[in-house]
Amino acid sequence: MEFAYDDLLRLQRPVHDGDVFSRRHPRMPQGQRAKLFAPFAALTGFEEAVRAKEVPYVPKRVLAPEAAAALNGTLNRLSRSAPARVKVEYFEVCTDRNHDACGRMGLYHTRTGVVRKVDPVGRFLMIGDKCIPFDAIGTLTIIGGQNEEEIHL
Protein backbone atom coordinates (compact mmCIF):
# COMPACT_ATOMS: atom_id res chain seq x y z
CA MET A 1 0.00 0.00 0.00
CA GLU A 2 1.40 3.42 -0.96
CA PHE A 3 1.16 6.43 1.31
CA ALA A 4 1.61 10.07 0.44
CA TYR A 5 5.26 11.05 0.98
CA ASP A 6 6.25 7.38 1.30
CA ASP A 7 9.37 8.09 -0.72
CA LEU A 8 10.42 10.80 1.77
CA LEU A 9 9.94 8.49 4.75
CA ARG A 10 12.42 6.00 3.28
CA LEU A 11 15.17 8.54 2.64
CA GLN A 12 18.37 8.33 4.65
CA ARG A 13 19.52 11.14 6.90
CA PRO A 14 21.34 13.83 4.91
CA VAL A 15 25.12 13.85 5.29
CA HIS A 16 26.86 17.21 5.44
CA ASP A 17 30.58 16.69 5.36
CA GLY A 18 32.69 19.71 4.60
CA ASP A 19 30.00 21.69 2.82
CA VAL A 20 28.81 25.21 3.70
CA PHE A 21 25.96 23.93 5.88
CA SER A 22 28.22 21.78 8.09
CA ARG A 23 30.64 24.68 8.63
CA ARG A 24 27.86 27.05 9.68
CA HIS A 25 25.98 24.44 11.73
CA PRO A 26 28.42 21.97 13.30
CA ARG A 27 26.95 18.81 14.83
CA MET A 28 25.59 19.39 18.29
CA PRO A 29 26.52 16.93 21.06
CA GLN A 30 23.62 14.67 22.02
CA GLY A 31 23.46 16.09 25.57
CA GLN A 32 22.82 19.58 24.23
CA ARG A 33 20.32 18.33 21.65
CA ALA A 34 18.24 16.79 24.43
CA LYS A 35 17.80 20.26 25.98
CA LEU A 36 16.01 21.41 22.84
CA PHE A 37 13.24 18.89 23.41
CA ALA A 38 13.00 19.19 27.20
CA PRO A 39 9.66 20.42 28.51
CA PHE A 40 9.52 23.96 29.81
CA ALA A 41 7.13 25.79 32.09
CA ALA A 42 5.34 28.36 30.00
CA LEU A 43 3.68 29.72 33.16
CA THR A 44 6.10 30.01 36.04
CA GLY A 45 4.55 28.94 39.33
CA PHE A 46 1.55 27.29 37.66
CA GLU A 47 2.37 23.77 38.90
CA GLU A 48 2.80 25.01 42.48
CA ALA A 49 -0.49 26.89 42.28
CA VAL A 50 -2.31 23.77 41.07
CA ARG A 51 -0.72 21.65 43.83
CA ALA A 52 -1.71 24.25 46.44
CA LYS A 53 -5.37 23.92 45.39
CA GLU A 54 -5.21 20.19 46.20
CA VAL A 55 -4.46 20.76 49.91
CA PRO A 56 -7.40 19.38 51.96
CA TYR A 57 -8.12 22.35 54.24
CA VAL A 58 -10.66 21.77 57.00
CA PRO A 59 -12.71 24.11 59.18
CA LYS A 60 -11.57 24.70 62.75
CA ARG A 61 -13.32 22.55 65.34
CA VAL A 62 -15.37 24.44 67.92
CA LEU A 63 -14.47 23.90 71.59
CA ALA A 64 -17.09 22.49 73.89
CA PRO A 65 -17.31 24.39 77.20
CA GLU A 66 -16.17 21.29 79.16
CA ALA A 67 -13.16 20.83 76.87
CA ALA A 68 -12.20 24.52 77.20
CA ALA A 69 -12.33 24.22 81.00
CA ALA A 70 -10.22 21.05 80.94
CA LEU A 71 -7.70 22.71 78.64
CA ASN A 72 -7.45 25.77 80.91
CA GLY A 73 -6.87 23.55 83.94
CA THR A 74 -4.14 21.58 82.20
CA LEU A 75 -2.43 24.72 80.90
CA ASN A 76 -2.51 26.19 84.43
CA ARG A 77 -0.87 23.01 85.80
CA LEU A 78 1.75 23.16 83.03
CA SER A 79 2.58 26.78 83.85
CA ARG A 80 3.16 25.97 87.54
CA SER A 81 5.00 22.66 87.14
CA ALA A 82 8.47 21.73 85.96
CA PRO A 83 8.94 21.49 82.19
CA ALA A 84 6.78 18.67 80.86
CA ARG A 85 6.81 16.74 77.61
CA VAL A 86 3.59 17.18 75.63
CA LYS A 87 2.02 16.29 72.32
CA VAL A 88 -0.17 19.04 70.87
CA GLU A 89 -2.45 18.99 67.86
CA TYR A 90 -3.07 22.56 66.76
CA PHE A 91 -4.85 24.43 63.99
CA GLU A 92 -3.11 26.76 61.54
CA VAL A 93 -5.20 28.98 59.30
CA CYS A 94 -4.55 28.92 55.53
CA THR A 95 -2.54 32.00 54.51
CA ASP A 96 -2.46 31.30 50.76
CA ARG A 97 -4.23 34.32 49.26
CA ASN A 98 -4.89 32.43 46.03
CA HIS A 99 -6.91 29.73 47.81
CA ASP A 100 -10.61 29.90 48.65
CA ALA A 101 -9.86 28.70 52.19
CA CYS A 102 -7.61 31.67 53.00
CA GLY A 103 -8.43 32.99 56.46
CA ARG A 104 -11.45 30.67 56.85
CA MET A 105 -10.08 27.13 56.95
CA GLY A 106 -6.73 25.52 57.68
CA LEU A 107 -4.80 22.40 58.66
CA TYR A 108 -4.21 20.56 61.92
CA HIS A 109 -0.55 19.87 62.77
CA THR A 110 0.99 17.82 65.58
CA ARG A 111 4.06 18.78 67.59
CA THR A 112 5.72 16.82 70.37
CA GLY A 113 8.29 18.30 72.71
CA VAL A 114 9.10 19.92 76.02
CA VAL A 115 7.03 22.94 76.99
CA ARG A 116 9.36 25.93 77.18
CA LYS A 117 6.75 28.46 78.23
CA VAL A 118 3.08 28.77 79.06
CA ASP A 119 1.95 32.39 78.90
CA PRO A 120 -1.55 32.85 80.38
CA VAL A 121 -1.55 36.58 79.62
CA GLY A 122 -0.45 36.27 75.98
CA ARG A 123 -2.46 33.01 75.75
CA PHE A 124 0.16 30.89 74.04
CA LEU A 125 2.13 27.70 74.63
CA MET A 126 5.73 27.45 73.43
CA ILE A 127 7.17 24.07 72.42
CA GLY A 128 10.69 24.35 71.06
CA ASP A 129 10.63 27.38 68.79
CA LYS A 130 6.92 27.04 67.94
CA CYS A 131 4.47 29.41 69.58
CA ILE A 132 0.96 27.88 69.67
CA PRO A 133 -2.02 30.08 70.64
CA PHE A 134 -4.38 28.55 73.20
CA ASP A 135 -7.29 29.03 70.78
CA ALA A 136 -5.54 26.87 68.15
CA ILE A 137 -5.05 23.78 70.34
CA GLY A 138 -7.15 20.81 69.25
CA THR A 139 -5.64 18.02 71.41
CA LEU A 140 -3.22 18.26 74.29
CA THR A 141 -1.48 15.19 75.75
CA ILE A 142 0.95 15.32 78.66
CA ILE A 143 3.43 12.52 78.03
CA GLY A 144 4.98 10.54 80.88
CA GLY A 145 4.56 10.89 84.59
CA GLN A 146 2.01 9.20 86.81
CA ASN A 147 -0.93 11.31 85.75
CA GLU A 148 -0.65 11.08 81.99
CA GLU A 149 -3.70 12.74 80.56
CA GLU A 150 -5.11 13.47 77.17
CA ILE A 151 -7.55 16.23 76.48
CA HIS A 152 -9.50 16.15 73.22
CA LEU A 153 -11.12 19.37 72.29
What Å distances lie between residue 83 and 25, 113, 130, 143, 152, CA to CA? 73, 10, 15, 11, 21
What secondary structure letter does DSSP report for 134? G
Domain range list for the chain: 6-53, 65-152
Q: What is the pLDDT of residues 82-134, one digit of tens each?
A: 788 999 999 999 998 888 888 999 999 999 999 999 988 899 999 989 999 99
Measured CA distances, 64 to 19, 82, 125, 153 (Å): 85, 28, 20, 7
Of the candidate ranges 5-9, 29-33, 116-120, the one whose mean pLDDT is the lowest:
29-33
Write down the pTM of the prediction. Answer: 0.64
